[in-house]
Every structure is written in C-alpha cells, then in structure tokens.
Amino acid sequence: MRLGFNGSTTGEADLLADAAAARWAGFDCLEVRAPKIERYLQDGTLESLRRALRETGPPVLSLNALEDCTIVSPARWPPVLARCRQMCAWARALDCPYVVAVPSPRPAGMDDATVVVRTRQALLEIAAIAADDGVRVGFEFLGFGWCSVSTLGFARRIVEGMGEPTVGLVIDTFHYYIGGSRLEDLDGLDPSRLFFVHLDDAEGRPRDTLTDAHRLMPGEGAIPLRAMVAKLSSLGFRGPYSVELFRPEYWAMDPPEVARRAKESAERVLSSA
C-alpha cells in the first residue's frame, strides 16, 4: 500500500525540502502544491525541477489543486482552463498521474440538479485538457457548508454518472467527516474510481467549527479513521493514502520531523484497521 506526503503539511517550506523530507521519512510518493512549483520556477526551469525531484524525493503522485473550477462565470472560465493547461503540463513534465480539482462555492439559490449539470460539464472540459498530457483528474469534494459539493454521496452522483474513466474521486477524511458523510456512503464504491485518499484527523470540537487549521496527525483526533480504512479495504481499495495537513503548529516544525511524525501516525492507523 503506497503512502504519500502532501506539501501542505510543511507550510511554506520549499518544494525540494518537501521532497527530501518525504524521502527521508520513507514515503512512497509526494503530493506537490502548485504554488510551490511557481516559486521554484521564479529562478529555475521545469526541466531542472524534474531532475531535482528525481534526485531528491519519491515519485510525484498529484498536483494540488485546480481550485474553484466547476461553477464559474463565462468571463472566468478561460482563466480556469488556462490554469488547467498549465498544471497538466507541469504534471506531464514531472511524470505525475493526477491533478486534483476542487469544486466551487455554491451560488445562492442553485439547486442540486443544476450543480450536477454544471460540475459535470466543467469536469469533462478539464478532463479533455488533462488527457492530452496523459493526466487524470481527481475530484475532491470539500465538507465546508459553502461548497457546492460537500459530501461523498453527492460527489459520487456527479462522477459516477459521467462515464468518464479519466475523472475519479479523491476522498479527504477531514472533509468526509465535517461534511457529515457516513460509512454507508462508501457502499458499492468501485475502488478503481477512487484515485487516492487524504488521511487526516481533526480536533474533537463541533464539526461546524472545524477549519483546516484544526487538522491533526492520523489517529490523534476524533475522526473514525480505522473504521473508514477497514471499510475501504473491504471494497478492495489498497491506496494510495496521503497525509495532507494545514496546521500552523506543524508548519513551525522542521520538514523532516513533520514527515516522520506523519509517516509513523499514518502507518499506525493503516496497520490497525
């Protein structure tokens, strides 16, 4: 079972520091944050980044993220597609199989049926661009109340009804939890349509008060991770799992120490599920 490390977990540490920390801690793959690529490219080239990542870190699993990309105005749509082309070109250069796409906020008064239609249309256009670079699109719902797609059940309705194999799901356990998704929502899930899982925990406070800053290392919080992992295993899902945290307390630590803690915490959860 492959285990990944997401560069969000180290905050403002640079991309090569993320890669080195992930390799040192023994992770199998790395999720790269798009802003960290942009910072590298201010002085470097994509080819030099490709070489440096090969020398420094594990293989790249995904680029995070194409944000607010599903329900946008006609004026904003061309910039979204341009950003998609840019990220997919980066992914191709870095031998990265996935770009993560994140849904837009829900416009006031928009019903579920319209969200489904608009989101599918957007994802199909994004997927067509990604396919030109040999990249697949992982659709990650967000559990926040403002998001147009905030539960696994609704995300499945959108993705499974598309009939597009290059678009699949990314489940973040934090968003799964705060959005009120249930274990039963995993019933019947085709594991081939689940590209990977963000394995994160959270503080035990009311769900509607949780923010990304309240994320915790796997197994150190209130999310029933072991039950979720056991359920996914029963469906035939074997990973990858990746640790994605946004906690300022972790950002203040040295990247290798954060990566070590993340690896050990994730392994304890996965081995005991």
Q: Which of 245, 250, 182 is nearest to 211 (CA)?
A: 245
**Separation of alpha carbons 95 and 32, rounded Å:** 12
Q: For residues 237-247, give the mean pLDDT.
A: 98
> Could you tell me the pLDDT band of residue 91, with boundaries at 50, 70 and 90?
very high
pLDDT tens digits, 108-122 = 999 999 999 999 999
pLDDT over 80 (residue 171): yes
- In the chain, what are the domains? 3-272 (3.20.20.150)
pLDDT over 90 (residue 96): yes
pLDDT over 80 (residue 226): yes
pLDDT tens digits, 31-41 = 999 999 999 99
Q: Which pLDDT does position 62 carry in this prediction?
A: 99
Q: Which pLDDT does position 158 carry in this prediction?
A: 99
pLDDT over 90 (residue 273): no
Q: What is the CA radius of gyration of the chain?
A: 18
**Separation of alpha carbons 93 and 88, rounded Å:** 9
* Residue 241, both tokens: 């799992």
Q: Which pLDDT does position 30 carry in this prediction?
A: 99
* Residue 256, both tokens: 């290798």
Average pLDDT, the chain: 98
Percent of the chain residues past pLDDT 70, beyond the cut: 100
pTM given for the model: 0.97
Q: Which pLDDT does position 60 carry in this prediction?
A: 99
Q: For residues 72-99, give the mean pLDDT.
A: 98
Q: For residues 230-235, give the mean pLDDT.
A: 98
Q: Which pLDDT does position 252 carry in this prediction?
A: 98
Phi, psi angles (nearest 5°) of residue 34: -55, -40
Q: Which of 218, 72, 223, 43 is nearest to 143 (CA)?
A: 223
Q: Lowest-pLDDT range, 149-153, 160-164, 256-260? A: 160-164
Cβ 31 vs Cβ 269: under 8 Å: no
**Separation of alpha carbons 155 and 143, rounded Å:** 11
